[in-house]
Amino acid sequence: DYGHKNNMEVIWSYRMNNPEDVFAKEYFSQRKRTHPSYLMGTEGDWDGSRPGDPKVWWTAEDFAQPEVRDYIVKIFEDICQRYDVDGIELDFIRHPIFFRPNLEGLPATPAEVAMMTDMVQKIRVMTERVALERGRPILVVVRAPLSVASCLAIGLDIPAYLKEGLMDILIAGQDYVQMGVASE
């Protein structure tokens, strides 16, 4: 309300994967406690990982599982239906680990890239439906790595998102060489 009263657009931002609870399991969400199979691994899987090794992020959710992607879409739908936001941000940069190959420093597979594109398509379809219901648009913002190669490495097909009109704003930011893909 404050933003709208002061002629500001309000964009809700969501970290698409947030495994920071790896450092304190008492902060695990109820969802992670109830569905440990959605996680990339178990606590003992990567004991002894060196600092900076992506394997340490075993509490990241595995986007190869349809239930994980469906849940993310539902979160965005809930926000768009319950709050008077002008847009939503899909923050893919904070922890750019979405598929198991990423934990090995390998790029996402073409099938995994297609899974992520399908999820973003569902989010876009939902925002357009809710926007029609409320009578004004909901912007879709994507925060992604700087290079196309780095985006593909984590499962994002930014050229397809642009071609299909899946986003209104692209925030291209920090790049991640941990995926073994140099910036272009």
pLDDT at 42: 80
pLDDT tens across the length of the chain (184 residues):
899 999 999 999 999 998 877 777 778 888 888 999 999 888 776 666 666 677 778 889 999 999 999 999 999 999 999 999 999 999 999 889 999 998 888 999 999 999 999 999 999 999 999 999 999 999 999 999 999 999 999 999 999 999 999 999 999 987 654 444 434 4
pLDDT at 46: 66
pLDDT at 181: 42
Helices 66-82 and 110-134: crossing angle in degrees, nearest 10, is: 20
pLDDT at 49: 65
Contact 56, 46 (CB under 8 A): yes
Short-list 159, 168, 160, CA closest to 131 = 168
pLDDT at 20: 78
pLDDT at 51: 65
CA distances 145 to 137, 138, 153, Å, are 26, 23, 10
pLDDT at 23: 73
